[in-house]
Structure 1
Amino acid sequence: MRLIIMGAPGAGKGTQAPGIAAHYGIPAISTGDIFRSNVKQKTELGLQVEAIMAAGDYVPDELTEQIVADRLDQDDAAPGFLLDGFPRTLHQVAALDDYLAAHDHQLDAVLSLTVDSEALIQRLLKRAQLEGRADDTEETIRHRMEVYERDTEPLLDHYRDRGLLVEVDGDGQVAEVAERAVAALDGVAGA
């Protein structure tokens, strides 16, 4: 299976992605995790993206696209993958489409977790306290929501038009959301 998981910041993508990926025997690939790891290790990439992420903005398309392509070239992604945090712009959609076409692959589904925006803000503030994430201030969270709505929500319409979008209610207990997500994706896989 070749999947994308989407949703606003705090919708549960990072929580749900590992279980969904394990269900299908594919790697969960999170661009946010890749970026945060590089920031922590103070790599060249980390130094480039640290200020961008702290402001709540997206890392430039070309840089993100190269990182994802390099990750998808690794052996464990050959049978499939679950992308979390990519694509976030129509430019990145085109880059992913080009990558997949060059490797004679296509997406199976795009899972969208839907959650009320005010509930998301509260989730992210709680996560900031629990994990000590400096990029999760209320101001930054609200900015990220605005950036998401402006830049990423159009992707949902794009994938809906292509018949790939699978929307799942992301509100509730983690296990409940996971059950709904896998059931919806199994329905696509069996189609």
Structure 2
Amino acid sequence: MFNLILFGPPGSGKGTQSAKLVEKYGLIHLSTGDLLRKELKLKTPLGVEAQQFIDKGQLVPDEVVIGMISSALDENASARGFLFDGFPRTTAQAEALDKLLELKKSSIALVLFLDVNEEELIQRLINRAKTSGRSDDADETIQRKRQDVYRKETLPVAAHYDKFKKVIHVDGMAEIDVVFSGLTSHIDKKIA
């Protein structure tokens, strides 16, 4: 099983590249947001537990999210692999994911890190607001705060996987197809 994390700040192109990678390699796209919405809709025990936190305006605890990921892995036991999107966002989540995968006799094979400078990220997000309908994308102040939160909370996840020599940096400033080619060349080397 080939498990991949596509990593990068908001606006780096993870969503675009994830869709292309899932199609090319036949991976299951695991988005924690999608998993949460599915569990809530189906009113599963995990969904009911998550709803209690959401109703109080709280974040869903890591244990609940890990439970949802575990369920998704079990439901797709014959999959070629998984592309993790939006998770892990903290070092604690990365450690929990590593333990979960180890229990399932698997691991993260590769963390592909999309490098994009902050000014480019801000411009991409502001431009995305024009087509996405997300008014928060249009606010430069909000975007700068998001980048700051990313640097403080999420960037350490890359350092966690870097200890295990799993992180490869890819220039995310290039055209979409050039970035995709860079990503696939690293995946192909790892799969070979």
For 1:117 and 1:79, the matched residues in 2 are separated by 34
**SS state at 2:113 partner:** strand
Q: Identity of aligned pairs, percent? A: 38
**1:169 has 2:171 as partner:** yes
Counterpart of 2:189 in structure 1 is 187
CA displacement, residues 131-186 of structure 1 (integer Å, 9 cap, x when unaligned): 10144232322221111100111111221110111111111211111111101221
Counterpart of 1:144 in structure 2 is 146
**1:86 has 2:92 as partner:** no
Counterpart of 1:11 in structure 2 is 12
Of 157, 163, 173, the residue aligned with 2:159 is 157
Moved more, 60-69 or 12-21: 60-69
Note the residue ranges of structure 1 that are not aligned, 5 or more in a row.
53-57
**SS state at 1:3 partner:** strand
Report the TM-score, using the length of structure 1 for normalisation. 0.83
**SS state at 2:127 partner:** helix
Letter in 2 for 1:140: I
For 1:50 and 1:9, the matched residues in 2 are separated by 26
Deviation of 1:25 after TM superposition, in Å, equals 1.2
Note the residue ranges of structure 2 that are not aligned, 5 or more in a row.
42-46
Counterpart of 2:32 in structure 1 is 31
Counterpart of 1:48 in structure 2 is 54
Deviation of 1:23 after TM superposition, in Å, equals 1.8
Moved more, 148-157 or 76-85: 76-85
CA displacement, residues 18-45 of structure 1 (integer Å, 9 cap, x when unaligned): 11122221112222445578899xx865
Counterpart of 2:44 in structure 1 is none
For 1:139 and 1:33, the matched residues in 2 are separated by 27
Moved more, 157-166 or 75-84: 75-84
CA contact (8 A) 2:111 2:166 kept: yes
**SS state at 2:4 partner:** strand
The higher radius of gyration belongs to 2
- Write the mapping of 1:59-138 to structure 2, written as runs, cut at 5 A: 60-75=61-76, 78-136=79-137, 137-138=139-140
CA contact (8 A) 1:39 1:49 kept: no
For 2:30 and 2:99, the matched residues in 1 are separated by 18
Report the TM-score, using the length of structure 2 for normalisation. 0.82
1:34/1:138 Cα in 2 relative to 1: closer, same or farther (>3 Å)? farther
1:164/1:93 Cα in 2 relative to 1: closer, same or farther (>3 Å)? same
Letter in 1 for 2:116: V
1:102/1:161 Cα in 2 relative to 1: closer, same or farther (>3 Å)? same
1:94/1:70 Cα in 2 relative to 1: closer, same or farther (>3 Å)? same
For 2:62 and 2:104, the matched residues in 1 are separated by 20
